[in-house]
Amino acid sequence: NAGVTQTPKFRVLKTGQSMTLLCAQDMNHEYMYWYRQDPGMGLRLIHYSVGEGTTAKGEVPDGYNVSRLKKQNFLLGLESAAPSQTSVYFCASSLDETSGSDTQYFGPGTRLTVL
């Protein structure tokens, strides 16, 4: 049981380039989330999904898009990267309907630098 995994671990982009971050979970969780964490700060919610085929905006959604085509995967896209998007990105999942647990479990993070 790998939990929550993220790909890639590190990435450097030039301003204006695009990329997609992949999150996968093998816990059969209903909900998935994308956060960003800037130095010395807590996590801020970008987008989230309460089920396959659904997405919703979080606290800081501008400049990002997401898709949840499969229950186990949640993709975060940057269409035109900006230096302000330099951050560490964390994916999380929650809600095991079998056990009723709604604890959020986090992946190891993706460190993104935009030059």
Partner 1 sequence: GESVGLHLPTLSVQEGDNSIINCAYSNSASDYFIWYKQESGKGPQFIIDIRSNMDKRQGQRVTVLLNKTVKHLSLQIAATQPGDSAVYFCAENIGAGNMLTFGGGTRLMVKP
Which residues would be at the binding site for partner 1 (CB under 8 A)? 4, 31, 33, 40-45, 48, 50, 56, 58, 90, 92, 94-95, 102-109
Tokens 């990329």 locate to 19
* Cβ-based neighbour number of residue 31 at 10 Å: 19
Q: How far is the CB of 16 from partner 1 (least distance, A)?
A: 28
Q: How far is the CB of 42 from partner 1 (least distance, A)?
A: 4
> Among residues 18 and 54, whose Cβ is nearest to partner 1?
54
Q: Distance between alpha carbon 86 and the CA centroid of its chain, in Å?
A: 14
Q: How far is the CB of 106 from partner 1 (least distance, A)?
A: 4
Q: How far is the CB of 52 from partner 1 (least distance, A)?
A: 14
Cα–Cα distances (Å) from 91 to 2, 15, 47, 69, in that order, read 14, 23, 10, 16
> Among residues 14 and 40, whose Cβ is nearest to partner 1?
40
Count of alpha carbons within 13 Å of 33, Cβ hemisphere only? 21
Strand, coil or helix: 102:
coil
> Among residues 12 and 56, whose Cβ is nearest to partner 1?
56
